Amino acid sequence: MPVRLSPEETLPILQVKVSDLAPLTLVAGDPARVERIAALLENPRRIGANREYVTYTGTYRGTPVNVCSHGVGSAGAGVAFEELCRAGVTRIVRVGTAGGLQPDVLDGSIVVATGAVRADGLSQRMVPLGFPAVADLDVTVALRAAAAKSGVDVHTGIVLTADNFYPSPVLENDQRMWQTVGVVAVEMEVATLLTVAAINGVQAGAVVAIDGNPLANEDESMAEYQPFRDVVDTAVNAAILAGLEALIS
């Protein structure tokens, strides 16, 4: 059975008091991005900071919400997701960045994830590989509707969640295989979120901004990867707003 903590307890890694958390949480890998999102809230208040995990609470258009960073990769992110679930949150939406895999999923577009390939390490330690990592339907529909109003190119589909950011110089890169079967983007945490949320009976979804496409750019080594560009920043803004709107829908 899922673990639930009492309101007076403090989450041991996030270092957040359970009673300080609202039921709705937006998560992002980068603590700096959490600060950026918190600036969009009414009456934002930092309620926790430990390691890579920074947590704010506030309201968005009058609805209480949290924003929490989870770092890079499945293992550390899974700690944040599990503790949020143990605190009793009911909906988690991830906002992040990803690399495009399809030829038309290019820098500056955003992807709403319908599910994820579980190539992460953590979810395989939690449930058998036959268990699908599927986004909540209501969250996905809300993300798609909000993203459609953003003015940027929007794609919907399955993402690949992998534990390696840079490709191995030894083992073969499998991204072209996943491209062949229609996977739209690659990132590092969505499958973990969807699996942890499903186990805990929590709604979850994800929207990611595309900051490169190693296959379309013929840069599979990622030697020319540079995410800090205006076109990417515009897409990140669109993803953040879509995430907030879907969170409170």
* 182 is a domain residue: yes
CA distances from 122 to 89, 98, 159, 196, 209 (A): 21, 19, 16, 9, 23
Question: Beta-strand (E) ranges in the chain?
Answer: 24-28, 42-50, 53-60, 63-69, 91-100, 110-119, 133-134, 154-162, 185-187, 203-210
- Structural domain contains residue 172: yes
DSSP state letters, 2-23? -----TT-B-TTT--BGGG--S
Range of 179's domain?
Answer: 18-248
Which DSSP letter does residue 29 get?
S
Q: Answer whether residue 2 is part of any domain.
A: no
- Number of domains forming the structure of the chain: 1
13 located within any domain: no
204, 197 in Cβ contact below 8 A?
A: yes
- Let me know if residue 214 belongs to a domain: yes
235 in a structural domain: yes
Length, in residues, of the chain: 249
> Has residue 163 been placed in a domain?
yes
**Catalytic sites, residue numbers:** 211
Residue 33 sits at the vertex; the CA angle it makes with 232 and 244, to the nearest 5 degrees, is 85
pTM of the model: 0.96
What CATH number has the domain bearing residue 157?
Answer: 3.40.50.1580
Residue 217 has a pLDDT of 63
Domain for residue 10, yes or no? no
The mean pLDDT values, 10 residues at a time, for the chain of 249 residues are 95 99 99 98 98 99 99 98 99 98 97 99 96 99 98 98 89 92 98 99 99 78 78 97 99
What does the pLDDT read at residue 225?
77
Radius of gyration of the chain (CA): 17
Q: Report pLDDT for 62.
A: 98
Confidence (pLDDT) at 221: 60
